[in-house]
Structure 1
Amino acid sequence: MPPALLPKFLQLVETKDDDHKLALVVDMRSRSFFSEIQAVLDELENQDDLDFKILFLDAADKELVARYKETRRSHPLAADGRILDGIKLERELLAPLKNMSQNVVDTTELTPRELRKTIAEQFSDQEQAQSFRIEVMSFGFKYGIPIDADLVFDVRFLPNPYYLPELRNQTGEDQAVYDYVMNHEESESFYQHLLALIEPILPSYKKEGKSVLTIAVGCTGGQHRSVAFAKRIAEDLAKNWPVNESHRDKDRRKETVNRS
């Protein structure tokens, strides 16, 4: 967003009743726009009904060069491709903004976890900074493993309700299918071992600073066994944690049949 539009944009936001949390991006490559930012921030600072603060993230040149090399990206301001020249120009452009900042954080020695914690402490209330929730989802391996899954469990070895005509068109959310899946001895044994594995490690994920842990349970088509397991896991974990339950492929077979 061009800095000159920021005051008008904030006025528009203030007309809404919602409690907005905004993140705006100003591209320094548009130098004619970016040069206006200091004047715009001075204008906003004089508004009595607006409170803002600037957190400036910095790092040593050597570390910045290493980060660019690690990601194999060129610096956007390095016309001749030399990363260090781009960093030098960037520092010149950002110097006024750095001088206006209420807090400058040197990220040279910070891990991603430590940086995330630092930013959360600056801009989040205590409850938000410590928030942690669990996403439990079912899926079908034939449609691919969810790319955002942190923990993946395979229940394809369990008896499959698909081969029972009376259960084929139902899902793991239906009681008959749920009971069929869970009433087998191997299902109950595996579930208890699974729960015993998951529950003790949740506090460590929260302590590490992870905000969302995605647990994915898969069967062949994502309609029966994985749905039943994900449903039960979500119900048990919800006794102590914020949990959201979803079933990615539960109705996919039905939709495919309807289209054919």
Structure 2
Amino acid sequence: MEFVIVTGMSGAGKTLALRSFEDLGYFCIDNLPPALIPKFADLCAQSEGNITKVAIVVDIRGGQFFKDLNFILQNNSFQFKILFLEAKDDVLIRRFKETRRTHPLALDDRIVDGIAKEREMLEGLRDKANIVIDTSDFTGHQLIAKIKELFKGADTKDLLITIISFGFKYGIPLDSDMVFDVRFLPNPFYDENLKNYTGNDKNVQDYIMAAKQTSVFLRKLEDMIDFLIPYYKEEGKSQLIISIGCTGGKHRSVTVANKLKEKLQKDGKLAKTFHRDIDKGK
């Protein structure tokens, strides 16, 4: 079992880090009292393989309980890694001011005093850390990407691309990252021999793909997606949702979604389709 303890300075990005671990399939807990760590580790070990990756945040928000952490880590029966996040004082001060949050150790003092106290408390823990990341110059997206780079295993899935076919008459999918309109393509609905079939059927696909503009559109769409995917991944996205719409979501959008998925899978990308409206209007 991989067990990661995330700790470090308040304001250094532990919440974002935990979000990254969630995207990587880790079982995550925020602000777990150190005394509960061994019991929690035992529970995970007894899960019969259902929990194999764990990330927990332990920091000075635990107050009196946090003082137990060093003792717990020195007297444990499980393997763990410590990820320590820190940042420069001026950066931490700016982040607290921007979010209007109060530093946990500066309830009645200045933020700078709380930061100084926290650095002193964490000094020994920082020395024990397996990985230390200074987030002073990181954007949120860059930190997420860094965590994923450091901790994703060989079996971790790549960016998941979901291609949704839909009908504009039923509304655009709300979770779309990109939306494309294919109502300019020839419509099989007006062919009595095709209208009762769908874009999952070869006769409909052949009809739509026979139009020159279909292949040109698909080629340009594929080129654009190939260009964009690395930048989406760089921004820390774990899923990309591409919605392709026609009038009823039964023929043209389904065909294009299927063809796009085939191309992306052929290129080694993780892609799937969801035909939202294919059974509507029957």
Q: Deviations over 1:7-59 (max 9, x none)?
A: 12212222323571112234643423333222222222xx3xx3222121100
Q: Note the aligned Cα RMSD (angstroms).
A: 3.6
Contact 1:138 1:217 in 2 (8 A): yes
Structure 2 residue aligned with 1:20: 52
Aligned pair partner of 1:191 in 218, 236, 251: 218
Q: Equivalents in 1 of 2:280, 2:139: separation in Å?
A: 44
Distance apart, 1:217 and its partner CA: 3.1
What is the CA deviation profile of residues 152-196 of structure 1, one whole-angstrom value per residue up to 9, with x for unaligned ones? 322233234455676556542233433343333322221222223
How many Å apart are 1:232 and its aligned residue?
0.4
1:135 pairs with 2:166:
no
Identity rate of aligned residues, in percent? Answer: 37
Does 1:231 find its partner at 2:263?
Answer: no
Runs of 5+ unmatched residues, structure 1: none
Q: What residue identity is the alignment partner of 1:137?
A: I
Q: Which residue of 1 aligns with 2:80?
A: 52
Aligned ranges 1:84-163 → 2 under 5 Å: 84=112, 86-112=114-140, 115-116=143-144, 118-120=146-148, 122-125=150-153, 127=154, 132-140=158-166, 141=168, 142-147=170-175, 149=177, 151-162=178-189
Q: Is the 8 A contact 1:167 1:176 kept in 2?
A: yes
Structure 2 unaligned blocks of 5 or more = 1-31
SS of 1:22 mapped into structure 2: strand
Q: Secondary structure at the match of 1:195?
A: helix
Query: Which among 263, 267, 274 is matched to residue 240 of structure 1?
Result: 267
Q: Whole-Å Cα distance in 2 between the matches of residues 68 and 252 of structure 1?
A: 51
Question: Structure 1-normalised TM-score?
Answer: 0.73
Question: 1:105, 1:235 → 2: CA distance?
Answer: 40
> Match of 2:20?
none
Structure-to-structure mapping, 1:42-81, within 5 angstroms:
42-44=74-76, 47=77, 50-70=78-98, 72-75=99-102, 77=104, 79=107
Q: 1:177 aligns with which of 204, 210, 216?
A: 204
Q: Which has more strand, going by share of residues?
A: 2
- CA deviation profile, 1:36-89 (whole Å, cap 9, x unmatched): 222222222xx3xx322212110012112333444x341462536965455445
- What is the CA–CA distance in structure 2 between the aligned matches of 1:155 and 1:165, rounded to whole Å? 21
Picking from 36, 58, 62, the partner of 1:5 is 36
How many residue pairs align between the two structures?
246
Distance 2:189 2:59 in 1: 54
For residues 28 and 147 of structure 1, do their structure 2 counterparts lie closer, same or farther at Cα, with a shift above 3 Å needed? Answer: farther
